[in-house]
Amino acid sequence: MKTVLVTGSAGFIASRVSKLLLDEGIEVVGLDNLNDAYDLRMKRHRLASLEGREGFRFIEADIENLYELEPVFSANRFDAIFNLAARAGVRYSIEDPHVYLRSNAQGALNLMELMHRHGCGKLILASTSSLYAGQPMPFREDLPVERPLSPYAASKKAAEVLSYTYHHLYGIDVSILRYFTVYGPAGRPDMAPFRFIKWIHEGTPITVFGDGSQTRDFTFVDDIARGTILAGRPIGPNRKAGHEVINLGGGKTPISLLDFIGKIEDRLGRKAEIVWQPMSASEMQDTAADITKAKAILDWEPEIGLDQGLDATVAWYLENLEWAGDVKL
Please report the DSSP string for 38-89 in residue order: S-HHHHHHHHHTTTTSTTEEEEE--TT-HHHHHHHHHT---SEEEE------
Report the length, in residues, of the chain. 329
Work out the number of other CB atoms within 10 angstroms of the CB of residue 229. 24
Q: Going by C-beta distance under 8 Å and a sequence separation of 6 or more, which residues neighbour residue 259?
A: none
| Residue 152 annotated in active site | yes
Between the two ends of the chain, the Cα-to-Cα distance in Å is: 37
Q: Is the pTM of this model over 0.85?
A: yes
pLDDT for 238 equals 57
Q: pLDDT tens for residues 257-316? A: 999 999 999 999 999 999 999 988 888 899 999 999 999 999 999 999 999 999 999 999
Of the candidates 135, 219, 115, the one whose C-alpha atom is nearest the C-alpha of residue 177 is 219
What kind of fold does domain 3-183+218-251+287-304 have according to CATH?
Rossmann fold (3.40.50)
Give the alpha-carbon dihedral of 235, 227, 60, 171, to 10 degrees: 30
SS3 for 118-175 is: HCCCEEEEEEEHHHHCCCCCCECCCCCCCCCCCHHHHHHHHHHHHHHHHHHHHCCEEE
SS3 content of the chain, % helix, strand, coil (to 5): 45, 20, 40
Mutual angle of helices 66-74 and 107-118, in 10-degree steps: 30
Per-residue pLDDT at 19 exceeds 70: yes
* Of 38, 92, 152, 183, catalytic: 152
For the chain, give every domain's residue range.
3-183+218-251+287-304
pLDDT in tens, 125-176: 999 999 999 999 999 999 999 999 999 999 999 999 999 999 999 999 999 9
Task: For residue 3, give the H/E element and its range.
Answer: strand 3-7
